[in-house]
């Protein structure tokens, strides 16, 4: 089975800078990007993964993502809500989210726990997913339009040494990329290095624990799959003036969504706690 996992917020934010303008630009670009990934990969099942609170990481590091500022754009948040509403009510694809768990961890849960023996493709520009790359899990970089190569050493160790400024995670002072490469290639040297200065090992281990993708508690995991309501989706796109979608291209869109796991039926949305 071929499984496609979409890092939805990553795709939504990229949609802000996509083609066109107007009141429905983000909505249009999101579905255009989504259909492009479905056409490219031809999955049997597709997950749209929503974000939750980083509860576990905040316990480890109270300042985790502390430098981030919420986008003050009501238009963006309206479009984001409309995208998820369409996914959950008419698309036939699988929406999944845990309110107390980051999207990254839920994606790892899908790839390693729900589909451990299937062919999995994750679509995201987030480098943290490099730690999931394996014989059956591939990371696709949608901007570069190419798969991301496996890391030559343990990626989490390397990143814990370097830190991650985007998430406000500190690295070990004085460690640059080449030094991190060398330490990851020689674990005895890494041990000696971490013990050579007070507090250095603690810093490394805290950053490692934050960066490492975490186990997801199945309690509270929200999974929603609506029936694929073709006429309703057509109305949603038509109302927004998406002529390039509802015209000659429409039959192709319907076929792609059907092949990607969409199922026909009535407006009978189902929700379950665990897949």
Check which CATH number belongs to the domain holding 266 and give it.
3.40.50.1010
pLDDT of 262 reads 77
Q: Which residues pair with 140 in a beta bridge?
A: 123, 147
Residue 66: predicted pLDDT: 85
Q: Residue 205, CB half-sphere, CA atoms under 13 Å: how many?
A: 7
The pLDDT assigned to 268 comes to: 39
Asked if 250 and 139 sit in the same domain, the reply is yes
Same domain (yes/no): 54, 159 = no
The number of folded domains in the chain is 2
Judgement on whether residues 38 and 128 belong to the same structural domain of the protein: yes
Q: Does residue 10 sit in the same domain as residue 49?
A: yes
Question: Is 195 found in the same domain as 97?
Answer: no
- Residue 126 phi, psi dihedral angles, 5° rounding: -80, 120
pTM for this prediction = 0.93
In this predicted structure, what is the pLDDT of residue 69? 79
Return the DSSP state at 51.
P
CATH number at residue 164: 1.10.150.20
Same domain, yes or no: 207 and 81: no
The size of the chain, in residues, is 275
Q: Report the distance separating Cα 125 and Cα 1, nearest Å.
A: 24
166 and 81 in a common domain: no
Question: What integer pLDDT is reported at residue 44 of this predicted model?
Answer: 95
Strand pairing report for 119-123 and 2-7: parallel
Q: Helix crossing, 230-239 with 74-89: angle to 10°? A: 160
Question: Residue 263's pLDDT is what?
Answer: 64
Q: How many CB atoms lie within 10 A of CB 188?
A: 7
Does 190 lie in the same domain as 74? Answer: no
The whole domain housing 252 covers: 2-150+217-272
Same-domain check for residues 70 and 160 = no
Q: Are residues 191 and 142 in the same domain?
A: no
Query: What are the 10-residue block averages of pLDDT along the chain, 275 residues in total?
Result: 97 91 94 96 97 95 87 90 97 96 97 97 98 98 98 97 94 94 96 96 97 94 94 95 94 93 54 39
| Per-residue pLDDT at 12 | 97
**3-class DSSP state for residue 49?**
strand
């Amino acid at each position: 089975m071929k499984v496609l996992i979409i890092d939805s917020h990553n795709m939504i934010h990229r949609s802000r800078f996509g083609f066109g303008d107007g009141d429905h630009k983000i909505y249009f670009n999101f579905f255009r990007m989504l259909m492009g990934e479905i056409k490219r990969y031809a999955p049997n099942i597709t997950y749209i993964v929503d974000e939750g609170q980083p509860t576990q990481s905040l316990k480890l590091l109270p300042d985790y993502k502390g430098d981030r500022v919420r986008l003050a754009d009501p238009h963006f948040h309206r479009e984001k809500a409309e995208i998820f509403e369409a996914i959950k009510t008419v698309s036939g694809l699988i929406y999944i989210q845990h309110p107390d768990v980051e999207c990254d961890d839920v994606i790892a849960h899908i790839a390693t726990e729900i589909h451990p023996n299937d062919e999995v493709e994750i679509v995201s520009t987030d480098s943290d997913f490099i730690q999931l790359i394996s014989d059956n899990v591939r990371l696709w970089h949608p901007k570069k339009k190419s798969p991301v190569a496996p890391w030559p050493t343990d990626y989490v160790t390397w990143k814990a040494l370097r830190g991650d400024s985007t998430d406000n995670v500190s690295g070990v002072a004085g460690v640059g990329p080449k030094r991190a490469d060398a330490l990851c290639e020689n674990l005895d040297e890494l041990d000696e290095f971490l013990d050579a200065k007070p507090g250095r090992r603690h810093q490394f281990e805290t950053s490692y624990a934050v960066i490492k993708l975490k186990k997801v508690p199945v309690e509270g995991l929200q999974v929603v799959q609506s029936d694929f309501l073709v006429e309703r989706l057509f109305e949603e796109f038509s109302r927004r003036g998406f002529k390039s979608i509802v015209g000659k291209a429409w039959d192709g869109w319907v076929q792609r969504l059907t092949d990607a796991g969409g199922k026909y039926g009535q407006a009978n949305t189902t929700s379950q706690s665990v897949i």
